[in-house]
A and B are shown apart, each in its own frame.
Chain A
Amino acid sequence: QSVLTQPPSVSGAPGQRVTISCTGSTSNIGAGFDVHWYQKLPGTAPKVLIYGNTNRPSGVPDRFSGSKSGTSASLAITGLQAEDEADYYCQSYDSRLSASVFGGGTKLTVL
């Protein structure tokens, strides 16, 4: 059971918009700790997509955006492309556990 809760799977057709939620608690996201998002393709290392809740590293398309409110955060992907099919993970810090924590991951399928 992950400290941060993500839906196991989401799907969308090419060109559509999808969102992935990440729900935490008052000891992590709700305590004000930043949320970061990673994309993991099979056989490759995770890649940071969004850091500090809303910021995109250089090279990440602006189709990817992040938001945070209360004890939750979301990753939105617009203009879905086949290459977006991957696993997505949120990450934050938990003050009660004194640990970095990940969500369980969400598998995005592009129909």
Chain B
Amino acid sequence: EVQLVESGGGLVQPGGSLRLSCAASGFTFSNYAMSWVRQAPGKGLEWVSSISGGADNTFYADSVKGRFTVSRDNSKNILYLQTNSLRADDTALYYCAKGWKSYSFDYWGQGTLVTVSS
């Protein structure tokens, strides 16, 4: 059974940083691209970032480019999202999802909440 479990969210001041993690199990992690998708309170889904299975290709939404960095540790089956220079409009539930680009996101975690506020 595929499982994705996010962690690392919390309350952070504007300009601060957080590292989100997503522990994966139930599939050969290194064979699949992974993504982060977020949902701000009362808003829709927004793709944030994707990374290829071998970590040699990364992609970012314009809204986070230069501030967020996606990475993965295939030896530990963990996906990361380093979030820097956080702003109030980054407040959202952050989901990790299996898939990328034109493919569907076929499995999702339950999300980790990031709140940016002073």
A residues lining the B interface (CB < 8 Å):
2, 33-34, 36, 38, 40, 44-48, 51-52, 57, 87, 89, 91-93, 97-105
Q: Find chain A residues with CB under 8 A from B44 CB.
A: 2, 87, 89, 102-105
Query: CB distance A46 to B108 under 8 Å?
Result: yes
Q: Shortest distance in angstroms between A25's beta carbon and chain B's nearest beta carbon?
A: 15
Residues 88-114 of chain B: 1 if any A CB is under 8 Å from the residue's CB, otherwise 0? 000000010000111111101111000
Chain B CB within 10 A, most for which of A44, A45, A51? A45
Query: Do most interface residues of chain A lie in helix, strand or loop, or is the interface mixed?
Result: strand
Q: List 7 A-B contacts (CB under 8 A).
A: A45-B108, A47-B108, A48-B106, A51-B104, A57-B106, A91-B105, A99-B59
The verdict on A45 contacting B47 (CB below 8 Å), with A91-B105, A92-B102, A99-B59 known, is no
Question: Which one of B102, B108, B110 lies within 8 Å of A93 (CB-CB)?
Answer: B102
Q: Is A100's CB under 8 angstroms from B106's CB?
A: no
Query: B104 to chain A: which residues have CB within 8 Å?
Result: 34, 36, 48, 51-52, 91
| B residues less than 8 Å from A100 (CB atoms) | 35, 47, 50, 100-102
User: Are A38 and B47 closer than 8 Å at their CB atoms?
Assistant: no
